[in-house]
Amino acid sequence: MMKGPSGPATTVASAAPVLRIGAVSKFFGTFKVLEDCTLDVAEGEIVTLLGPSGCGKTTLLRCIAGFWEANGGTIEIDGQHMFRVPVNRRPVGVVFQSYALFPHLTVARNVGYALRMRGLPRAEAKARVAEALDTVSLTGFEDRYPAQLSGGQQQRVAIARILVMEPRVLLLDEPFNALDAKLRGTMQVELRLLIKRLGLTSIFVTHDQEEALTMSDRIAVMRAGCIEQVAAPDEIFDRPATAYVADFIGTSNFWSARAEGGLVRLPDGQTASTVLKGEVRVMVRPHNLRLDAAGQGPWQGRVAFHRSVGPLVEYHVEIEGGMTLRVATMRQSANRPIRDDASVSIAVVDPALCAVYPG
């Protein structure tokens, strides 16, 4: 099977990218679904296309697979242009949202489908089917029909079916949507480990930020047909390039301020640096704020509501101007959470982790 290096989580700059997407655009009639999308994916890398429904992430995936032809730009796999290359000649494998297993074929015949279409000798095909089923731990399920499998098993058949044809690029279209919430978490980790072990270059499409943070080496956040930021999950979370990305990933607090001389004054008296001037918006994550029940700092608020979410306590703090701040602190058994209705003073833990965007 495909034995690739389980590469580092960052792009290997020296190697040529396996998949190059260059300024791809796609129209439906006059409606622009994709606009100048550019993205390189390195060998063995998992890149997630993340965005709300209708942002064009599935459209981009379908253009790479060849179900739709892009109207502009280039798609290259291993330096080969994919323009006008029919679906069945592209070295890509697609895991569909519905898995699209053939209901009238057994697991073994589903997995062997691509080999039969290519006319591989029966003995060799059988060996490769067995190998693929072994890879996804489904040995012994050869004679079952898809309807007799659980959602997780169906997903693994869908992956095995693609593994046998050794594609260069794996495309996954929201593959966890059909699973129940409890199973998703474990399947995400399992799938990431499997793909990494096989060293498959992958594009993963989802609208779920948690899935994206779990699965990806890099995340491409999409908005209205454009790629807004491409970066590693930590980078996206800690240093979102735009207010849109900050808002889409994780919880964030925004307020307006004025920047002067490369500095923005925060309401608690500290300063954050910025290259911007004039009206700006400042973003701070809930875990970068600290509450003090007895504090007399310059930034005062009132706890409107609090709740315990696992190891965290989340506060909704009303501040001047009718705004509500979200604050998250680690739950400590020693001290009780601050009561609702209590007056608190608020402070930013690390001003360097405040993001500043144009106002």
Q: Which listed residue (97, 177, 242, 300) binds another protein by CB under 8 A?
A: 97
Residue type, 351: P
Q: What are phi and psi of 286, to 5 degrees?
A: -55, -35
Q: Which listed residue (114, 159, 231, 249) binds another protein by CB under 8 A?
A: 114
Q: What is residue 223's DSSP assignment? A: E
Stretch that binds another protein, among 3-11, 96-104, 132-140, 306-314 (CB under 8 A): 96-104
CA 99 distance to own-chain centroid: 19
Backbone angle region of 166, left / alpha / beta, with phi > 0 → left and psi within -120 to 50 → alpha: left
120 versus 276: smaller Cβ distance to another protein: 120
**What is the SS3 assignment for 114?**
helix
**If binding means CB under 8 A, how many residues of this protein chain bind another protein?**
25
Per-position x/- string for 132-171, each x denoting binding to another protein as judged by CB under 8 A, each - no binding: -----------------------------xx--x------
* Cβ atoms < 10 Å from Cβ of 81: 11
Tokens of 300: 């005062």
How distant, in Å, are the alpha carbons of 10, 129, 151, 206, 343 from that of 231?
Answer: 9, 36, 31, 16, 39
81 versus 116: smaller Cβ distance to another protein: 116
Please state the closest distance from residue 288 (CB atom) to another protein, in A: 43
Residue among 233, 229, 211, 232 at smallest CA distance from 220: 229
120 versus 232: smaller Cβ distance to another protein: 120
Q: Which listed residue (14, 30, 84, 103) binds another protein by CB under 8 A?
A: 103
Please state the closest distance from residue 285 (CB atom) to another protein, in A: 38
Q: Which listed residue (9, 117, 323, 352) binds another protein by CB under 8 A?
A: 117
18 versus 92: smaller Cβ distance to another protein: 92
Stretch that binds another protein, among 23-31, 82-90, 201-209, 230-238 (CB under 8 A): 82-90
Please state the closest distance from residue 120 (CB atom) to another protein, in A: 10
176 versus 315: smaller Cβ distance to another protein: 176
Q: Which listed residue (34, 92, 282, 344) binds another protein by CB under 8 A?
A: 92
Residues numbered 163 to 222 that lie near another protein (CB under 8 A) are 165
Please state the closest distance from residue 167 (CB atom) to another protein, in A: 9
Residue 235: exposure state from Cβ atoms within 10 A (0-12, 13-18, ≥19) = middle
Gap between the Cα atoms of 261 and 251, Å rounded = 29
142 versus 238: smaller Cβ distance to another protein: 142
Q: Are 112 and 126 in contact (CB under 8 A)?
A: yes
Please identify which residue in the block is written with the tokens 């020693």: 334
Pair type for strands 92-95 and 169-173:
parallel
118 versus 302: smaller Cβ distance to another protein: 118
Gap between the Cα atoms of 245 and 51, Å rounded = 9
Gap between the Cα atoms of 210 and 271, Å rounded = 31
Is residue 93 a contact residue for another protein (CB under 8 A)? yes
* Cβ atoms < 10 Å from Cβ of 28: 10
Residues numbered 55 to 74 that lie near another protein (CB under 8 A) are 65, 67
Residues near another protein (CB under 8 A)? 65, 67, 86-88, 90, 92-94, 96-98, 100-104, 113-114, 116-118, 161-162, 165
